[in-house]
Every structure is written in C-alpha cells, then in structure tokens.
Amino acid sequence: MPALCQPDDNMVPGQTYTFQLKLANWIAVPSTGTVQQDLMSNAPSFVGNDLQVTSPTFTSLYNCQFTYNGDGSDVISDVAYLIIAACSSGSNDDFTFVGAVADTAQSITVSLGSAGKAISDSVGDAVSKATQGAAKDVADAAQKVLTPVEIAVGILAVIVVLIIFTAGKAGGVNVSEFGASVGGHK
C-alpha cells in the first residue's frame, strides 16, 4: 500500500492522488455518482481532472481519485477541505477527511491506515458520547413529565370524578324533561 501523504505536503502537478473521505452521517447515503457530480460542479478545476469516485463495499468510505493539475502550491489539507466543502455545497453531504495517497484508488485496500483509524475512532467516540447524552436527556425529560405518583393521583382523580357524576341521587347529575340538576334530588 502506498505511503500516506502528510497534511502539509505540497501536491505535485501531474500526480494522481486519491483522497479518502468518510461519510459522517448515515441518514442519507449518497451514491458515488452524486459525490462525483458534486466535485465536478463545486470543486476547484485542479480536482476535476480525470476524477473518479469509488466506495469500497459495505463501508462509509469514499475514494476520490484525480490527477492534480494545479501549480504545486496547494497542500493536502487545503485540498481535502476544498473537496469536503464541494460535497457539502452540492448535495449537503457531510464527510470527514481520512487521508490521501499519491496513487490510484485501486492501491488502497479499504482504509488509509493508522491515521484513518485514529480519525475513525475519534468520530466513533464523539458519536457514542452524543448518543449517550441524548438518551440521558430523553430519560430525564420523561421522568420530569410524569412520575408514578403523579400518574396514580391522576387515575384516582378521574375515578372520583366519574363516581360523583354517575352516582344519580347521591349527588350526581340528573337529567329529566324539566332540565338538569347537579348534586341532589330527582
């Protein structure tokens, strides 16, 4: 597998690069064609040269391969930011940068090594913490809304009201041809 490019490495004109992105949300998974169209429409022209987007099966990874045709002043991290911004401005897809190699997408097995794993782990930890926090907030809100004592008091109040208004002579509601009367005699 080729060596991972460093974030501050300058890109080499005429070199084929593959930038690997990870989909941050799984709600709407874009097709590789959608991601490729976003890049062709919204990314700088030096990214659109021989652009191919692929996705390894059963992963949330997308490999964006292109031949860099800029002047060599662009660095890996800046281009990664531009690629992610292009995807976001096109279809509003939310990606994180995993890594880049100066090679074709076929040279990448699945993920770009330890840097990709570290990023993936930190994203997983953040999602896990957010999920746990949301679940706790929902449980706290439900507990504040109704406690078992409040539910029991509510049921008892409904029973008492039903007894009062259905007891007939004992103080309920009577309806006759002369009108209605509450709490008393027929």
Q: In what helix (H) or strand (E) does residue 17 lie, and over which residues does it extend?
A: strand 16-23
| Domains of the chain (ranges, CATH numbers) | 16-112 (3.30.70.100)
Task: Give the global pTM.
Answer: 0.58
Q: Which of 19-23, 127-131, 160-164 has the highest mean pLDDT?
A: 19-23
Contact partners, residue 12, CB within 8 Å, separation at least 6: 68, 72, 102
Which residue shows structure tokens 């990709």?
Answer: 116
Q: What is the pLDDT of residue 77?
A: 95
The whole-angstrom separation of Cα 178 and Cα 180 is 7
The whole-angstrom separation of Cα 27 and Cα 64 is 21
Q: Are 72 and 12 in contact (CB under 8 A)?
A: yes
| Average pLDDT in the chain | 78
3-state class (DSSP) for residue 106: helix
How much is the average pLDDT of 130-153?
A: 63
**The two three-digit tokens of residue 19, written as one number:** 């930038």
Q: What is the pLDDT of residue 62?
A: 93
| 62-87 tens-digit pLDDT | 999 999 999 999 999 999 999 999 99
pLDDT of residue 173 exceeding 70:
no
| 1-29 tens-digit pLDDT | 688 999 999 999 999 999 999 998 777 78
Q: Which of 20-24, 124-128, 178-182 has the highest mean pLDDT?
A: 20-24
Q: What is the pLDDT of residue 158?
A: 75
The whole-angstrom separation of Cα 104 and Cα 20 is 11
The whole-angstrom separation of Cα 137 and Cα 65 is 42
The whole-angstrom separation of Cα 68 and Cα 51 is 10
The whole-angstrom separation of Cα 53 and Cα 37 is 9
Q: How far apart are the first and last CA of the chain?
A: 95
**The two three-digit tokens of residue 128, written as one number:** 């896990």
pLDDT of residue 115 exceeding 50:
no
Return the closest-CA partner of residue 16 out of 63, 55, 54, 50.
Answer: 50
Q: What is the pLDDT of residue 86?
A: 92
Phi, psi of 41 (to 5 degrees): -85, -30
